[in-house]
Amino acid sequence: MPLPPNLPPLPIDDALPALRDALRARACAVLQAPPGAGKTTRVPLALLDEPWLAGRRIVMLEPRRLAARAAARRMAATLGEPVGATVGYRIRHESRIGPRTRIEVVTEGVLTRLLQDDPALEPYGAVIFDEYHERSLHADLGLALTLQSQQLLRDELRVLVMSATLDGARVAALLGAAEGADAPVVTSAGRSFPVQLHWRDRRPEPRPGPGGVESAVAATVRAALAAHDGDVLVFLPGAAEIRRVGELLDDGALPREVRVRALFGNLPQQEQDAALDPAPPGERKVVLSTAIAETSLTIEGVRVVVDAGLARVPRFDPRTGMTHLETVRVSRAGAEQRAGRAGRVAPGACYRLWPEAEHVGLLAHATPEVLDADLAPLALELAAAGVADPAELRWLDAPPAAAFAQARTLLAQLGALDAGGRVTTHGREMAALPLHPRLAHMTLRARALGLAALACDLAALLAERDVLRGDGPRPPDADVRLRLDLMLRGDVPGTLLGWSVDREGVRRARQESRALREALDVRGAASHDDAASAGRLLSLAYPDRIARRREAGVGRYVLRNGRGAVLPEGQPLAREPWLVAAELGGGATQERRILLAAPVSVEELVSEHGALLDRVEEYAWDAEAGAVRARRAVRLGALTLEESALRDADPARVAAVLLAQVRDAGLDALPWSDDAVRLRERLAFARAWDGDAWPDVSDDALLASAEDWLLPSLVGLRRWDELRRLDLGELLLARLDWSRRGVLDQVAPTHVAVPSGSRIRVDYADPQAPVLAVRLQELFGLEETPRVARGRVPLVLHLLSPAHRPVQVTRDLAGFWRSSYFDVRRDLRGRYPKHHWPEDPLQATPTHRAKPRGT
């Protein structure tokens, strides 16, 4: 009989039979159990004898290596067996699996490898996703691929999703989508003890320093130790804050029996075990931990939690293609998980370093990594599985389209995808390596260059946190070659050039490099001489982060995509002309800071990226020289690798640039002669009064048609001052055929003959009111105003004195003679007595002289 899809909360002893019944009835189920319920260790053991398992193994995913080891040990101890018997674990570079193993605890990345090797997961009867609420990229991908395998290949495969703070209804709908009904949800009431909450009215500051989160945490730890029994678990965003709080507590003021322990993923296993194991009799411990202790782990003896309320998460920016770590506020679900750590073995207390009123403003759940992460690894895994479109799979939250498209673009650049978007042989080899696609590509390509050992060292270093630590405001030297030197040394020093060396990080990187060399069958190790090729290899992994130093300013660079980047002041690399940045800091809106880099030569870039180079001939305007610059250039994105003058420049392309400069400068910048200006004015007048048969010579029209009338004359020119050779009037006149030229003289004659015999130039500057400026005496005897445009347009007469000063403006000459003339005559007779000013101008003889001949 099918189980109801949802059950009331049950004690864990009752929840286990209900869960077994649910999985017998359905292929998928959800278990919601709070911290302390024991689901991580009790559920897999309870399912071992289920008939549907049919002797197959159970694979259980844990989000972290530390949690996987701890869960396997706990289950093995419950059975009274060593790890590797019934219960084993498989994590990166470490496997404790035997022939009798029935439960494999693995990290999430291992499951995708299992699915690559065997999409049907034949050896397994059940896949358990523990702590799924953390919503890592690998967990979402693993669940999507497992559900696809179940639907297409193994309908009997059981899938169980477990969490304390998950939205169970959404997951149940996802798991049951193929069957058209939600999967059963079993809820356990758990066995946690009450936890008293203490709120601190101090806002956590993401930055270190006096009054920041570290000092607030240290003060709270001291207060908690004084007020409560048992051990204290402190949640901090990262290893740097852990180190600083540890330094603040190491001031001799703590009770003698208190030991401070650190807990984060990159610690040696011995130190991790010291944090997890019970404190010796008579001692107490303070465990300074990252979010790694939120779930899965049981830290013996913890009765008090101090929560700084912060978490450090990666944020991917599709605009830049880069990921940066960001310190954010913890979610309400995360805060609940953290507080629950204090109630595992007895009633406890939780100190939250934020006011209670702010708690409701926290996000309900942390943002799933698939929505914020670099999707290149996911895209490669999907391509290797034959999935080109994420929509083919079932997701709780689908990968964002923009970020996924950018990831596939990067994979294509790395040669992992062909032109059709299908995975290549090289892409399958990349997917088989436990590296980011960038580093996998670099490592594989390095084999052909004889630099595989160096590439393994580089990949191992870049997969780790930086092994050099900057003390104070001065960041460590960005040169990757310094880190390679540490890898190649016999003994690792505690300091290098004044910076602290993370010896354990170097040890892990060496171990990782050895594993990579073994996987790639690389014999021998890298040499110090090989390290000189670090930039060449980094350019293979980060072709988008190749950078060229700007001409102005030491340490200022431009990346291949055109964005800026800067090396901190005082860095030895700051004078290198070319770099490859392996790590960049700064937010999406800030200029990026180069944190890790290596120099590279132009010859190396040409050798490794020849297929991506653009060899172009460029024609551009050089404002300083006032001429067209023609150059031959080799470019990589926004970067110019080589540039030289182009001696055999194409005259037509030079002319096109010159024309573009004319357009930018405007027509007034051209060397217009007086005659050319007058011709243009005549043409404008003709068009205004005689119709559209005449060419439009306005600024907009001439610029728009410049290819027709101006460009041919620019061929052969290169400099702006050479434009003086142009006869712009003749170029405009060339737009008229011979017959139209004759008509132009009829419509807009250049001169008009007046009674004195003079030919006076007509001014057409205003096409609506052409002007004839003429001395008054030269018009004696003329009754009507002269006209143009075949008699349709009277000229505006500017009547001048003998000294060529205007005395009257009129379009009605006849009316002027009848009226205004006599006032003008009286004034002119006084000023110019030697000139003849007749009483009847229409009967007088016109003249351009002082007195008419014979008077």
pLDDT tens digits, 90-133:
998 789 999 999 999 999 789 988 998 899 999 999 999 998 98
762 has which bridge partners? 772
The single-letter code of the amino acid at 292 is I
Paired strand residues for 313: 326
Q: Amino acid identity of 630? A: A
Encode pLDDT of 707-717 as tens digits.
999 999 999 99
Alpha carbons 131 and 164: distance in angstroms, whole number: 7
Closest alpha carbon to 396 in 22, 23, 129, 6: 129
C-alpha span between 535 and 579 (Å, rounded):
7
pLDDT in tens, 777-810: 999 999 999 999 999 999 999 999 999 999 999 9
Instruction: Give the pLDDT confidence of 686-710 residue by residue, as tens digits.
Output: 999 998 889 999 999 999 999 999 9
Query: Quick one: how far is CA 536 from the chain centroid?
Result: 23
**For the segment 427-468, what is each residue's pLDDT rounded down to a tens digit?**
999 999 989 999 999 999 999 999 999 999 999 999 888 888
- Of the CA atoms within 13 Å of residue 194, those in its CB half-sphere come to 1
Does residue 206 have a pLDDT over 70? no
Confidence of residue 496 (pLDDT cuts 50, 70, 90): confident
Q: How confident is the model at residue 207 (pLDDT cuts 50, 70, 90)?
A: very low
Specify the 3-state DSSP secondary structure of 398.
Answer: coil
What pLDDT shows up at residue 794? 96
| Region(s) of the chain under CATH 1.20.120.1080 | 388-536
CATH of 388-536, one of 1.20.120.1080, 3.30.565.10, 3.40.50.720, 3.20.190.10: 1.20.120.1080
Backbone angles phi, psi at 33, to 5 degrees: -140, 130
Which residue bears the tokens 């205007």?
806
Inform me whether the pLDDT recorded for 582 exceeds 50.
yes
Give span(s): CATH 3.40.50.300, the chain.
12-187, 195-371
> What is the spatial distance between Cα 27 and Cα 143, in angstroms, rounded to a whole number?
14
In 10 A of CB 792, how many CB atoms?
10
DSSP state of 1: -
pTM reported for the whole predicted model: 0.76
C-alpha to C-alpha distance for 173 and 772, rounded to whole angstroms? 91
pLDDT for 588 equals: 53
Q: Mean pLDDT across the stretch 347-376? A: 90
Contact residues for 673 (Cβ-Cβ < 8 A; gap 6+) = 727, 728, 729
Quick: pLDDT tens for 316-333: 766 656 666 788 899 988
Q: Which fold is adopted by the domain 195-371?
A: Rossmann fold (3.40.50)
Q: Please tell me whether residue 847 adopts helix, strand or coil conformation.
A: coil
pLDDT above 70: residue 544: yes
The two structure tokens encoding residue 640: 């110019």
Topology annotation, domain 12-187: Rossmann fold (3.40.50)
Beta-ladder partners of 317: 322
* Cα 536 to Cα 521: distance, rounded to the nearest angstrom: 22
Rounded Cα distance, 831 and 854, in Å: 22
Query: pLDDT value at position 191?
Result: 62
- Which pLDDT band, with edges at 50, 70 and 90, does 5 fall under? very low
Each residue's pLDDT tens digit, 143-181: 999 999 999 999 999 999 998 777 788 999 999 988 888
Residues 6+ away with beta carbon under 8 Å from 98: 84, 85, 88
